[in-house]
Structure 1
């Protein structure tokens, strides 16, 4: 179903029509034959895994981020935005262990 989401990087088995019996079986050509399979969107957007953090770090991050954003709104929108962020933060904190 979602097979096109995966990308394989590294070794690729390509049949170029050579005669394997004519080649030496123990000959090492120095090719790295390890392949890495990962989700395409991770590679496309250069996403990196973030270290886990607790509720206190999450709340501190949200407060800092909210302060940066509220400066972009006028006074009326700031109040509305802060109410929305407060509600979402409470919801996320209630589900924090599931996330």
Structure 2
């Protein structure tokens, strides 16, 4: 989910027109849209992979993830991960990896 970060508006109860100001005295609005999970966990965007690097990365992820699954879920994972990997390989320009 996209969230806005850095745009903090604080109402301190002062009427700018009564104080002689025009209400536009605040600093520059430094609001930035960020993906909430990436910002929360302070993930860093990785440079784009070519197909060979991506396959190596996915194989390493599969190798590390499979033993952590319950035995009955491992078979389903192994069966479905090949199709998912092929799908992702068809869209390398659409991927943005952050670790």
Q: Which range, TM-score by smaller chain?
A: 0.5 to 0.7
Give TM-score scaled by structure 2 length.
0.55
Q: 1:69 aligns with which of 51, 65, 72?
A: 65
| 1:10–1:77 distance in 2 versus 1, CA, 3 Å | closer
Q: Which moved more, 1:37-46 or 1:60-69?
A: 37-46
3-state SS in 2 of match to 1:71: helix
> Counterparts of 1:23-42 in structure 2 under 5 Å?
33-39=28-34, 41=36
Residues 35 and 80 (structure 1), Cα distance of their counterparts in 2 relative to 1, 3 Å cut: closer
The match for 1:7 is 4
Q: Could you say if the C-alpha distance between residues 44 and 16 of structure 1 is closer, same or farther in structure 2, counting changes exceeding 3 Å?
A: farther
- Counterpart position of 1:89: 85
Q: Which gives a bigger RCO, structure 1 or 2 (Cα 8 Å, sep 6+)?
A: 2
- Which residue does the alignment assign to 1:26? none
Residue 59 in structure 1 maps to residue 59 in structure 2: no
Aligned residues: 88
Structure with larger Rg: 1
